[in-house]
Amino acid sequence: MSRLGVNIDHVATLRQARGEHYPSITEAARISLEAGADQITIHLREDRRHIQDPDVNAVKLVTQRYGKPLNLELGVDPGIIEIAVDTRPDWICIVPEKREERTTEGGLNLLDDENYQKVKAACEKFKKEIPGVKISLFVEADRKTLEKCVELNIDAVEIHTGDYAQAFLQDNPIEDFIERFRSEKEFIESKNIGYHAGHGLTDESLVPLAENKLFAEYNIGHWIICDAVFSGLESSVKKLIEVLESNK
User: Which of 50, 73, 184, 217 is the catalytic position?
Assistant: 73
Dist CA 55 CA 23 (whole Å): 12
Angle between helix axes 53-66 and 78-87 (nearest 10 degrees) is 30
Q: In the chain, where does DSSP find H-type helix?
A: 9-18, 25-34, 53-66, 78-87, 113-129, 143-150, 162-169, 175-190, 206-211, 222-231, 233-245
Question: What's the Cα-to-Cα distance from 6 to each of 41, 72, 164, 236, 237, rounded to whole Å?
Answer: 6, 12, 19, 10, 8
Residues 6+ apart with CB under 8 A from 147: none
User: Which of 43, 50, 160, 196 is the catalytic position?
Assistant: 43
Contact 123, 152 (CB under 8 A): yes
On the 0-12 / 13-18 / 19+ scale of CB atoms within 10 A, 87 is: middle
Cβ count within 10 A of residue 192: 8
> CA nearest 128: which of 69, 85, 72?
85
Residue 199: active-site member: yes
User: Which of 10, 160, 196, 199 is the catalytic position?
Assistant: 199
Catalytic residues: 43, 73, 199
